[in-house]
Amino acid sequence: MGMLSERLKSLASNNKKALVAYIVAGDPEPGVTVPLMHRLVESGVDVIELGVPFSDPEAEGPVIQLAHERALAHNVSLGNCLEMAAEFRQSDKLTPIVLMGYLNPVETMGYENFAAKASRAGVNGTIIVNLPPEEAVDMSAILEANDIEPVYLLAPTTTDERARMICQVSKGFVYYVSLKGTTGAGNLDIDDVSEKMDRFKKLSQLPIMVGFGVKDGPGARAVAQVADGAVVGSAIVKLMAEHKGDLKKLNDEVGQFVSELRAAID
Amino acid sequence: MSNVDGHNESLFAYPDEWGHFGRFGGKFVSETLMAALQNLESEYYRLRKDTTFQEELERDLSEYVGRASPLYFAQRLTTQAGGAKIYLKREDLNHTGAHKINNCIGQALLAKYMGKPRIIAETGAGQHGVASATVAARFGLECQVYMGSEDIKRQSLNVYRMKLLGAEVVPVNSGSKTLKDALNEAMRDWVTNVDNTHYIIGTVAGPHPYPMLVRNFQAVIGEETKRQFAEQHGGLPNAIVACVGGGSNAMGIFYPFLEDREVRLVGVEAAGYGLASGKHAAPLNEGVVGVLHGNRTYLMGDANGQIIETHSVSAGLDYPGVGPEHAFLKDIKRAEYVAIDDEEALDAFRALNKLEGILPALESSHAVAYGLKLASKMSPDESIVINLSGRGDKDIPTVAKLDGISID
Identify the CATH number of the domain in which residue A95 sits: 3.20.20.70
Average pLDDT over residues B317-327: 96
> Which of B75, B190, B37 has the alpha carbon at shortest distance from A134?
B37
**C-alpha torsion angle, residues A229, A234, A236, A241 (rounded to 10):** 170
Give kind and range of the element (H or E) at residue A164: helix A160-169
Output the pLDDT for position B81. Answer: 98
pLDDT, greater one: B188 or B234: B234
Max CA separation in chain A (angstroms)? 49
Best mutation target, B28, B37, B40, B41, to test chain A (most A CBs within 10 A): B28
Output the pLDDT for position B7. Answer: 55
Query: In B, which residues are within 8 Å of A158 by CB distance?
Result: 31, 34-35
Q: Is A202 a member of any domain?
A: no
This model of the complex carries an ipTM of 0.94
Q: Is A249 a member of any domain?
A: yes
Using the predicted structure, report yes or no on whether residue B345 has a pLDDT greater than 90.
yes
> Which of A56, A78, A86 has the alpha carbon at shortest distance from A69?
A56
Half-sphere exposure of A147 (CA within 13 A, CB side): 16
Are B192 and A181 an interchain contact pair (Cβ–Cβ within 8 Å)? Answer: yes
Q: Is A157 a member of any domain?
A: no
Q: Is A185 a member of any domain?
A: no
Question: What residue numbers bound the domain in which A33 lies?
Answer: 3-151+218-259
3-state secondary structure chain B: CCCCCCCCCCHHHCCCCCCEECCEECCCCCHHHHHHHHHHHHHHHHHHCCHHHHHHHHHHHHHHHCCCCCEEECHHHHHHHCCCEEEEEEHHHCHHHECHHHHHHHHHHHHHHHCCCEEEEEECCCHHHHHHHHHHHHHCCEEEEEEEHHHHHHCHHHHHHHHHCCCEEEEECCCCCCHHHHHHHHHHHHHHCCCCEEEECCCCCCCCCHHHHHHHHHCHHHHHHHHHHHHHCCCCCCEEEEECCCCHHHHHHHHHHCCCCCCEEEEEEEEECCHHHCCCECHHHHCEEEEECCEEEEECECCCCCECCCCCCCHHHCCCCCCHHHHHHHHCCCEEEEEEEHHHHHHHHHHHHHHHCCCECHHHHHHHHHHHHHHHCCCCCCEEEEEECEECHHHHHHHHHHCCCCCC
B185/chain A closest Cα distance in angstroms: 7
φ and ψ of B299, to 5 deg: -150, 170
Query: In A, which residues are within 8 Å of B193 by CB distance?
Result: 180
Q: Is A87 a member of any domain?
A: yes
φ and ψ of B343, to 5 deg: -60, -45
Residues 281-320 of B with CB under 8 A from A: 288-294, 299, 301, 303-308
| Domains: count for chain A | 1
Q: Is A142 a member of any domain?
A: yes
Q: Is A101 a member of any domain?
A: yes
Per-residue pLDDT of B35-79, as tens digits, reads: 999 999 999 999 999 999 999 999 999 999 999 999 999 999 999
Q: Tell me the pTM.
A: 0.96
Are B32 and A155 an interchain contact pair (Cβ–Cβ within 8 Å)? Answer: yes
Active site residue B89: no
Average pLDDT over residues B374-391: 98
Using the predicted structure, report yes or no on whether residue B93 has a pLDDT greater than 70.
yes
Encode chain A (266 residues) as per-residue pLDDT tens digits.
799 999 999 999 999 999 999 999 999 999 999 999 999 999 999 999 999 999 999 999 999 999 999 999 999 999 999 999 999 999 999 999 999 999 999 999 999 999 999 999 999 999 999 999 999 999 999 999 999 999 999 999 999 999 999 999 999 999 999 887 777 777 788 999 999 999 999 999 999 999 988 999 999 999 999 999 999 999 999 999 999 999 999 999 999 999 999 999 99
Active site residue B406: no
Q: Would residue B310 be called left, alpha or beta, if left means φ above 0 and alpha means ψ between -120 and 50 degrees?
A: beta
Q: Is A19 a member of any domain?
A: yes
> Which of B319, B28, B362 has the alpha carbon at shortest distance from B176?
B319
B324 touches chain A (CB under 8 A): no
Per-residue pLDDT of B116-154, as tens digits, reads: 999 999 998 899 999 999 999 999 999 999 999 988 987
Query: In A, which residues are within 8 Å of B29 by CB distance?
Result: 130, 132
Active site residue B312: no
CB contacts < 8 A, A to B, total 124
State how far the Cα of B366 lies from the Cα of B403, in Å rounded to an integer. Answer: 19
Using the predicted structure, report yes or no on whether residue B5 has a pLDDT greater than 60.
no
Angle at CA of residue A140, ends A37 and A4, nearest 5° = 35
- Helix, coil or strand: residue A263: helix
State how far the Cα of A151 lies from the Cα of A50, in Å rounded to an integer. Answer: 13
